[in-house]
Amino acid sequence: MSVLPEVIAANADYAAEFGDKSELALPPARGFAVLTCMDARLDPAKYAGLSEGDAHVIRNAGGRASDDAIRSLVISYKLLGTKEWFVIHHSDCGMEFFTDEVIRGLLANSLETAALGPDGFHDVGTGPGSAEGDYIDWLTISDQETSVTEDVRRIRNHPLVPSRIPIYGYIYDVKSGLLVEVPSATAAGAAVSD
């Protein structure tokens, strides 16, 4: 049973109440961007108090500073004027539960959805899989504070990112909804004023 009819119906309801959101400007009104995980439990609009038009939200598995996330951040400041950035990872992230080696092995075995047991993921498919997974850096996480700090540092040191933009590092706690600062990350992301 597809979710398609539910999504289309929900969208019709949303559009019926769209109102003055049709007048929103393209550049984010509050001038900031958030890089965070795609985890379904995280709703950046709610946890950071965003309305439509307020901020850029860039999401991927883990909220990692991949080349593509940096592409979006560069567009965010260079063309659309954001002035502050957040990198927000979270507790209980799925990216902590496997390594490159594990996901490559699972994909080499089959393209079925793997099962998660007490000792990690295992494959339940019959194949064929593909070795293409060997060519992807999956950017898995072994420690959240380390991953946030590394990602903030990578963005900070990128040649296309100006030193004036402060980058804040946080971990969202899925048990409390709170954003917890990672001081080493925020320190690494501090702006350098001219």
56 annotated ligand binder:
no
**Stretches 10-18, 37-45, 96-104, 164-172: which one binds Zn ion (CB under 5 A)?**
37-45
| C-beta of 39 vs 123, nearer to Zn ion | 39
- In the complex, what is the shortest distance from the CB of residue 112 to Zn ion, in angstroms, rounded to a whole number? 22
Q: How far is CA 118 from CA 27, 113, 114, 121, in A?
A: 45, 16, 13, 8
- In the complex, what is the shortest distance from the CB of residue 172 to Zn ion, in angstroms, rounded to a whole number? 9
| C-beta of 34 vs 37, nearer to Zn ion | 37
* Residue 123 sits in the site that holds Zn ion (CB under 5 A): no
137 annotated ligand binder:
no
CA 75 to chain centre: 16
Give the one residue of 33, 34, 35, 37 binding Zn ion; rule: CB under 5 A: 37
* Residue 148 sits in the site that holds Zn ion (CB under 5 A): no
CA 73 to chain centre: 12
93 annotated ligand binder:
yes
143 annotated ligand binder:
no
**DSSP one-letter code for 154:** H
Give the one residue of 39, 84, 123, 150 binding Zn ion; rule: CB under 5 A: 39
d(Cα 15, Cα 142) in Å, to the nearest integer?
42
Q: Which of 36, 46, 30 is CA-nearest to residue 83?
A: 30
CA dihedral of 149, 152, 157, 160, whole degrees rounded to 10: 170
Contacts of the segment 174-179: beta carbons below 8 A, 24+ positions apart: 174/39, 174/41, 174/42, 174/90, 174/91, 174/92, 175/91, 175/92, 177/47, 179/47, 179/48, 179/88
**Stretches 49-57, 88-96, 153-161, 162-170: which one binds Zn ion (CB under 5 A)?**
88-96
| C-beta of 41 vs 164, nearer to Zn ion | 41
Give the one residue of 93, 152, 155, 171 binding Zn ion; rule: CB under 5 A: 93
| C-beta of 70 vs 93, nearer to Zn ion | 93
Contact residues: Zn ion, CB under 5 A: 37, 39, 93
Annotated binding-site residues read 37, 39, 90, 93
